[in-house]
Amino acid sequence: MHFANGEVPAEYRRYIGLKVLFIAAVAAALALCLAVSISLGAADVPLKEVVRSLLGYGATRRFELIIWSIRLPQALTAVTAGAGLAAAGAAMQSILRNPLGSPFTLGVSHAAAFGAAFSVMVLGGGVMGSSNVGAVSITSPYATTAAAFAASLLAAGVIIMVSRTRGATPEVMVLTGVALGALFTAGTMFLQFFADDVQLAAMVFWTFGDTARASWPELAVAAAVTAAGCVYFMLHAWSYNAIDAGDETAKGLGVRVERVRVTGMLVASLVTAVIIAFLGVIGFVGLVVPHMVRRVIGSDHRFLLPASILTGGLLLLASDTAARLILAPHVLPVSVITAFMGAPVFIYLIVRGGRR
């Protein structure tokens, strides 16, 4: 083929430059928001102290304690969860060819809630809670986390098995996910029906997503899994672009569509499962963030994925900070804030016809 008369067009360079600029701006906003979030709270830490401490020049012992053992882990947990859920959402929307795809479309969160309820009732995980709410205390948080995680993976496993027999098409995966969601919801309700007051409170409380549940060890696990997942998604950015152009086009470009679809779904489920097992259900970030980003920089996954990851982190960190401050000293569940923000966008997407 002699396509020798081409050049690298300047206008395309500029166009790509703008996308890179957007990503850099979000990254800068995230860094700023992180510093502000850490400085605000029951005891205000001056912004200057926060920056100094983060850079390793902190001097005041009281501030060091607040920053490093309370505020920073919580803020980083919010960033990790937002980033992971948004990346999983962006990938799912492409893989499932469905603008309403999100980490929760496949019933992963319903399964996790069921797992947690199962742990409370049957495994005697007892009463759970969070450091924020004194009324409910944790007796065995790890059993509950493990049960929630196992149930999420069970849901993902069922979808993979069905995809194996019926072909990994978006229809098969979405429909199976919806069925599983209904099944696990019914299972949770069944358990709740027989639960006593304390158990019921624990089950309901678990579903409120809460970034304060994770401390450094949990954060490390969630961050490692999220980072690995994000790298996986970014390595497949071209494949997702190709799948957006249609399965046949993608196959013609050498993409193993079924394999990319099944592994992408598995990675998204894994990232989601780890996050919600530690933090509880945090809705809408995974659904809404990719759509917001798509509106600004388009659906080229080379840029959509990193931008969604950063925007997701930024959004959940901002919501989490708001949740801590709005009714201080009470801490609202962050999922409530994200859902208040996400639901209207969701409805807007439906009204607009669900077009990408």
Partner 1 sequence: MILDVDGVVFAYNSHPVLRNMSFQVRAGELLAILGPNGVGKTTLLKCVNAIHRPRGGAVRVEGRDLLRMAPAEISLAVGYVPQRSEPARLTVFDAVLMGRKPHIRWRTSPRDLSIVDAALKHLGLKPLSLRSIDTLSGGELQKVAIARALVQEPRLLLLDEPTSSLDLKNQMDILSLVRRVVDEHAMAAVMTMHDLNAALRFAHKFLFLKDGAIYAAGDCKDVTAEMVEEVYGLPVEIHQINGRPMVAPLA
- Chain residues in the site for partner 1 (CB under 8 A): 1-9, 11-12, 15, 97, 235, 238, 241-242, 244-246, 248-249, 251-256, 294, 298-300, 355-356
As measured in angstroms, the least distance from the Cβ of 246 to partner 1 is 4
Nearer CB in complex with partner 1: 213/301 = 301
Report how far residue 160's alpha carbon sits from residue 265's, in angstroms, rounded to the nearest whole number: 9
As measured in angstroms, the least distance from the Cβ of 1 to partner 1 is 4
Where are the strands (E) in the chain, listed by range?
none
As measured in angstroms, the least distance from the Cβ of 85 to partner 1 is 22
Report how far residue 118's alpha carbon sits from residue 192's, in angstroms, rounded to the nearest whole number: 10
Report how far residue 85's alpha carbon sits from residue 64's, in angstroms, rounded to the nearest whole number: 30
Nearer CB in complex with partner 1: 2/61 = 2
Nearer CB in complex with partner 1: 1/59 = 1
Report how far residue 160's alpha carbon sits from residue 156's, in angstroms, rounded to the nearest whole number: 6
With beta carbons less than 8 A apart as the criterion, state whether 243 and 250 touch. Answer: yes
Distances (CA, A) of 110 to 199, 217, 309: 18, 25, 23
Classify residue 318 by its DSSP letter.
Answer: H
Helix (H) or strand (E) holding 54: helix 47-54
As measured in angstroms, the least distance from the Cβ of 86 to partner 1 is 18
Nearer CB in complex with partner 1: 67/174 = 174
Token pair 């992180």 is at which residue? 34
As measured in angstroms, the least distance from the Cβ of 223 to partner 1 is 23
Nearer CB in complex with partner 1: 6/329 = 6
